[in-house]
Structure 1
Amino acid sequence: MTDDECIHGMTAAWCGLCIKVEPVPTVRSGSYGFHGGETKQDVIDEIHDLLGMRRQAVSNGSSLPASMFRIACERLGLPYRNMPDACERIVKRAGLRWNPDFDSRATRSGGGSTVTLEGAQAMRDALRALLS
């Protein structure tokens, strides 16, 4: 954990739990978002459930919790370097196809080493297979 990370593995100023931001109430529980697809929160919730972690709320546009990636790597005996690398390792460990669009490493700016919704979905699918 770096000095600017909170206990949830996120940048402290962005962590809705640490700065006590009330999450948007939802009754969806695995339903689909406003645009006809899953939301990041839906996928994160399922990954936390697969890993036996307490669910964490994320706000729109925020990064995924790094702790989720760290714990997934620990459970699978994989090294943890950063979120995109962890996601790729987990997806490939399950024998699933990796797509560069699953994270920001191939973008012109590098995108701050984030994982996209599609990457989180691929990781969730990999964890389903690997942890079942």
Structure 2
Amino acid sequence: MARSAKQLTDTALKKVKAEDKDLILSDGNGLQVKVRKSGSKLWNFNYYHPITKKRINMGLGKYPDISIVNARKLAQEARELVALGTDPKEHRDETLAFKRAQEELTLNKVALEWFEVKKQSLTKDYGEDIWR
């Protein structure tokens, strides 16, 4: 029978000090805090990949920046994706890539890049006229 982990508290996380090696504290349901030698505290979600069935750690962020409540929400969302057969790490990467592509490929940005290339060969008045 698996051991049940006692849920972490904000006070307990603040009191944890760095040791000579990395320390892993479990909150349960795959959510962990890794206390590094340097003193940083990082949230991890530990899960089995839905296809390969290998154990994977997915970083969720740094402790004070991501609160316990938010880390639990992120872990719950990741668990739901695993239950649906989707790798949460790949899903997150695809979502970020899509957002980046939307920001980078706007008409204004493409026009600015084109204008920067072309304005070297144009007169100032003609360049301003084209940009308008």
Fold equivalence (TM over 0.5): no
Select the structure that is richer in strand. Answer: 2
Which fold has the larger relative contact order, with Cα–Cα distance below 8 Å and residues 6 or more apart in sequence?
Answer: 1
Larger Rg: 2
TM-score by length of 1: 0.27
TM-score by length of 2: 0.27
